[in-house]
Structure 1
Amino acid sequence: MSRPRIVVVGAGFAGHQAARTLSQRLRGRAEIVLLNPTDYFLYLPLLPQVATGILEPRRITVSLTGTLPRVRLVLGEAESVDLAARKVRYTDPEGGGGELTYDRLVLAVGSVNKLLPVPGVSQHAHGFRGIPEALYLRDHITRQIELADTTDDRVEAEARRTFVVVGAGYTGVEVAALGAMFTDALAKEHHRRHDTSGLPSRRPRWLLLDLADRVLPELDQRLSGTADRVLRERGVDVRPETSVKEATDQGVQLDDGEFVDTRTLVWCVGVRPDPLVSDLGLDVEGGRLVVDPQLNVPGHPEVFACGDAAAVPDLTRPGKFTPMTAQHAHRQGKVVGHNVAASLGIGGERRPYRHNDLGFVVDLGGLKAAANPLGIHLSGVAAGAVTRGYHLAAMPGNRIRVAADWLLDAILPRQAVQLGLVRSGAVPLDSSAPELARSPGSSTSPRPSKEE
Structure 2
Amino acid sequence: MDTVTRPRILVVGAGFAGVECVRRLERKLSPLDADVTLVTPFAYQLYLPLLPQVASGVLTPQSIALSLRRSRKYRTRIIPGGAIGVDLKSKVCVVRTITDKIVNERYDYIVLAPGSVTRTFDIPGLTEHAFGMKTLAEAAYVRDHVISQLDLADASDDPAERAARLQFVVVGGGYAGTETAACLQRLTHAAVKRYPRLDPKLIRWHLIDIAPKLMPELGDKLGRSAQEILARRGIEVSLGVSIDKAGPEEVTFTDGRVVPTHTLIWTAGVVASPLIATLGAETVRGRLAVDAEMTLPGQDGVFALGDSAAVPDLAKGQEGAICPPTAQHAMRQGRVVADNVIAALRNQPLSPYKHKDLGLVVDLGGKDAVSKPLGIELRGLPAQAVARGYHWSALRTNVAKVRVATNWLLNAVAGDDFVRTGFQARKPARLKDFEYTDSYLTQEQVRARVEGQPALESP
Indicate yes or no: 2:37 matched with 1:37: no
Aligned to 1:278: 277
| Partners of 1:108 and 1:18 in 2: CA distance | 9
Give the 3 Å change call, closer, same or farther, for CA 403–213 of structure 1 in structure 2: same
Q: CA deviation at 1:426?
A: 6.2
Amino acid at match of 1:343: A
| Partners of 1:121 and 1:97 in 2: CA distance | 30
Q: TM-score, normalised by structure 1?
A: 0.92
Give the 3 Å change call, closer, same or farther, for CA 58–100 of structure 1 in structure 2: same
Aligned to 2:343: 342
Q: How does 1:140-155 map to 2 (within 5 A)?
A: 140-155=145-160
Aligned to 1:202: 201
Give the 3 Å change call, closer, same or farther, for CA 203–367 of structure 1 in structure 2: farther
Give the 3 Å change call, closer, same or farther, for CA 155–176 of structure 1 in structure 2: same
| Partners of 1:232 and 1:325 in 2: CA distance | 27
Aligned to 1:391: 391
Partner SS state of residue 360, structure 1: strand
Amino acid at match of 1:211: I
Give the 3 Å change call, closer, same or farther, for CA 425–326 of structure 1 in structure 2: farther
Q: How does 1:32-71 map to 2 (within 5 A)?
A: 32-67=36-71, 69-71=74-76
Aligned to 2:234: 235
Q: How does 1:331-410 map to 2 (within 5 A)?
A: 331-345=332-346, 349-397=349-397, 398-410=400-412
| Partners of 1:130 and 1:446 in 2: CA distance | 16
1:377-403 deviations in Å (ceiling 9; x for gaps): 111001111111100111112000000
Partner SS state of residue 176, structure 1: helix
Indicate yes or no: 2:447 matched with 1:447: no
Q: How does 1:47-126 map to 2 (within 5 A)?
A: 47-67=51-71, 69-126=74-131
Amino acid at match of 1:400: V
Give the 3 Å change call, closer, same or farther, for CA 425–324 of structure 1 in structure 2: farther
Contact 2:37 2:76 in 1 (8 A): yes
Q: CA deviation at 1:144?
A: 0.3
Aligned to 2:328: 327
Contact 2:207 2:236 in 1 (8 A): yes
Which of 91-100 and 294-303 deviates more?
A: 91-100
Give the 3 Å change call, closer, same or farther, for CA 285–117 of structure 1 in structure 2: same
Amino acid at match of 2:369: A
Q: CA deviation at 1:264?
A: 0.3
| Partners of 1:287 and 1:296 in 2: CA distance | 17
| Partners of 1:136 and 1:288 in 2: CA distance | 29
Give the 3 Å change call, closer, same or farther, for CA 226–405 of structure 1 in structure 2: same
Partner SS state of residue 431, structure 2: coil
Q: TM-score, normalised by structure 2?
A: 0.91
| Partners of 2:308 and 2:425 in 1: CA distance | 29
1:338-386 deviations in Å (ceiling 9; x for gaps): 101111118x642101111100001100011111111111110011111
Amino acid at match of 1:286: R
Contact 1:132 1:422 in 2 (8 A): no
| Partners of 1:357 and 1:424 in 2: CA distance | 44
| Partners of 2:206 and 2:234 in 1: CA distance | 9
1:257-285 deviations in Å (ceiling 9; x for gaps): 11100000000001000011111111111
Aligned to 2:179: 174
Give the 3 Å change call, closer, same or farther, for CA 55–184 of structure 1 in structure 2: same
1:114-169 deviations in Å (ceiling 9; x for gaps): 01111111111111110111111000000001111121111111110000001110
Amino acid at match of 2:372: N
| Partners of 2:441 and 2:213 in 1: CA distance | 29
Partner SS state of residue 238, structure 2: strand
Contact 1:14 1:331 in 2 (8 A): yes
| Partners of 1:448 and 1:73 in 2: CA distance | 20
Contact 2:274 2:440 in 1 (8 A): no
Structure 1 gaps, min length 5:
437-444
Give the 3 Å change call, closer, same or farther, for CA 340–424 of structure 1 in structure 2: farther
Q: How does 1:210-249 map to 2 (within 5 A)?
A: 210-249=209-248
Contact 1:187 1:203 in 2 (8 A): no
Aligned to 1:25: 28
Contact 1:64 1:73 in 2 (8 A): no
| Partners of 1:141 and 1:101 in 2: CA distance | 44
Partner SS state of residue 274, structure 2: coil
Aligned length: 433
| Partners of 2:426 and 2:130 in 1: CA distance | 10
Partner SS state of residue 376, structure 1: coil
Q: CA deviation at 1:301?
A: 2.6
Partner SS state of residue 218, structure 1: helix
**Identity percentage over the alignment?**
43
Q: How does 1:396-435 map to 2 (within 5 A)?
A: 396-397=396-397, 398-422=400-424, 427-430=429-432, 434=435
1:289-332 deviations in Å (ceiling 9; x for gaps): 11110000001130000001101111123222111111211111
Q: CA deviation at 1:226?
A: 2.1
Contact 1:13 1:326 in 2 (8 A): yes
Q: How does 1:288-327 map to 2 (within 5 A)?
A: 288-315=287-314, 316=316, 317-327=318-328
**What root-mean-square deviation, in Å, do the aligned CA atoms of Structure 1 and Structure 2 show?**
1.9
Give the 3 Å change call, closer, same or farther, for CA 278–215 of structure 1 in structure 2: same
Q: CA deviation at 1:446?
A: 6.7
